[in-house]
Amino acid sequence: MSTLPAITVSKLSKTYIVPVREAGVKAALGSLFHRRKEEIKAVDGISFNLAPGEIVGFLGPNGAGKTTTLKMLSGLLHPTAGEVAVLGHVPWKREKAFLRQITLVMGQRNQLVWDIPAADTFELNRAIFRIPQADFRRTLDELSELLELGPLLRKPVRNLSLGERMKCEIAAALLHRPQVVFLDEPTIGLDVLMQRRIRSFILEYNRRYGATILLTSHYMADVEAMARRVIVIHRGKLLFDGELADLVRRFTAHKTIVVQLGDCLADLKAYGEVVSCEDGRTTLRVPKAETARVTERLLADLPVIDLTVEDPPIEEVIERVFTQGSA
């Protein structure tokens, strides 16, 4: 079996040129005659590969360049510099053979026609993507079952809830069974239950069809559940590319120790930084290297009912990555 990457990105950059104007009448008049332009580097020389069938989480704060990168990978944006290849195609050429094999789901925008049932948009996509009738029926049945679309397909899209609409959006984007799937915040604004359902669906799609998936999300639970590997970018530059567990290891100098003592009366300041104490459970933050020693002392000195050592929450790790990245 060939192990050619499904996606190759090499020294990819995108610079936007945007007009700038000071506030005020004078500046407004001035801009009539002389427009000042500013260059904004949205993506600045990033490189990475994705193997076929891989699911990778693409992380970064707002404005980091995630969406710009996804748009370059799906052919909507022309790179300023660098190379991109997706399934052997140059995305911005938007060849039909390429477009038939990819999809881009944007959680904040919708492709479904607002006033008519999703089933009608599905039919239109079937015609445009030239999906044979039998394949279409089978895929639609599978998607309906996995996403529990059933009665939603017959209702006008505008009458669907946000979560229901997102499920239909995802189905519409996958009817042609793309081999490469770009997901830009597919769970944004959804409740926890719906987020979980979409996550398990994406995993199932990946398992069934061996699709390569690159997804962005601000919900760390999404990333933890779906992606073993993450790519972190900040201000257009690549900060980290590797396993999620490595990211945690690399960027955390602390561990969290939770001790249950029965009450909150004891002063544990001597053992580490006290984060909180509730119902007799004290949370301590200690330097990673001292974890074993502190645990030993706690157990020796105090009437400990229970004790656990944990990595800090992933949100905290990511926050640290971003703040270190901008320092």
Partner 1 sequence: MRDLPQIYAQQFKTSLAMMLQYRASLVIWLIAHVLEPLIFLVVWSAVSRSSGGSVGGYSPGDFAAYFIVLMLVNHVTYTWVMYEYEYEVRHGTLSFALLKPLHPIHSNIADNVSSKLITLPGMAVVAVILALIFRPVFHLQLWALAAFIPALFLAFLVRFLMEWMLALAAFWTTRVSAVNQVYFVVALFLSGQLAPIALLPLPVRVAAFILPFRWTVGFPVELFLGKLTPMQALTGIAVQLVWLGLSLLLMRVVWRAGLRIYSAVGA
What residues line the site for partner 1 (CB under 8 A)? 16-18, 68, 71, 74-78, 92, 94, 96, 99-100, 102-104, 106, 109, 111, 113, 115-117, 120-121, 123-130, 156
Strand, helix or coil for residue 153: helix
C-beta of residue 168 within 8 angstroms of C-beta of residue 92: no
Least Å distance between CB 73 and partner 1? 12
Query: Cα dist. 65→218, 282, 324 in Å?
Result: 14, 39, 17
b/e for 34-58, b at 16 or more Cβ within 10 A? eeeeeeeebbbebebebebebbbbb
CB of 58 to partner 1, least distance (A): 18
Count of other CB atoms within 10 angstroms of residue 32:
7
Q: Which is nearer to partner 1, 19 or 303 (CB)?
A: 19
What is the DSSP track for 296-313?
Answer: HHHHHHS--SEEEEEPPP
State the Cα–Cα distance between residues 146 and 127, nearest whole angstrom.
23
Shortest CB 90 distance to partner 1, Å: 13
Q: Which is nearer to partner 1, 4 or 128 (CB)?
A: 128
For partner 1, give the closer residue by CB, 74 or 212: 74
Q: Which is nearer to partner 1, 16 or 47 (CB)?
A: 16
CB nearer to partner 1: give 123 or 319: 123
- In the bound complex, what is the minimum distance in angstroms from residue 205's beta carbon to partner 1? 18
Q: Quick one: CA torsion of 178, 184, 189, 193, rounded to 10 degrees? A: 50
CB of 111 to partner 1, least distance (A): 4
Based on CB atoms, which residue is closest to partner 1, 78 or 207?
Answer: 78
Q: How far is the CB of 78 from partner 1 (least distance, A)?
A: 4
Q: Is the Cβ of residue 65 or residue 325 nearer to partner 1 in the bound state? A: 65
CB atoms under 10 Å from CB of 101, counted, come to 19
Cβ nearer to partner 1, comparing 49 with 80: 80
The torsion angle over the Cα atoms of residues 297, 302, 308 and 313, rounded to 10 degrees, is -80
Distance CA(67)–CA(73), nearest Å, equals 10
Give the shortest CB-81-to-partner 1 separation in angstroms: 13
Cβ at position 23, least distance to partner 1 in Å = 19
Check if the beta carbon of residue 121 is closer than 8 Å to that of residue 111.
Answer: yes
CA dihedral sign, ordered 162, 167, 170, 176? negative
Nearest 5°: phi and psi at 77?
Answer: -120, 145
**Nearest distance, CB of residue 154 and partner 1, angstroms:** 12
Return the number of the residue (34 or 93) whose C-beta is nearest partner 1.
Answer: 93
Tell me the CA distances in angstroms from 63 to 43, 66, 68, 237, 326, one per residue in order: 10, 7, 9, 12, 13
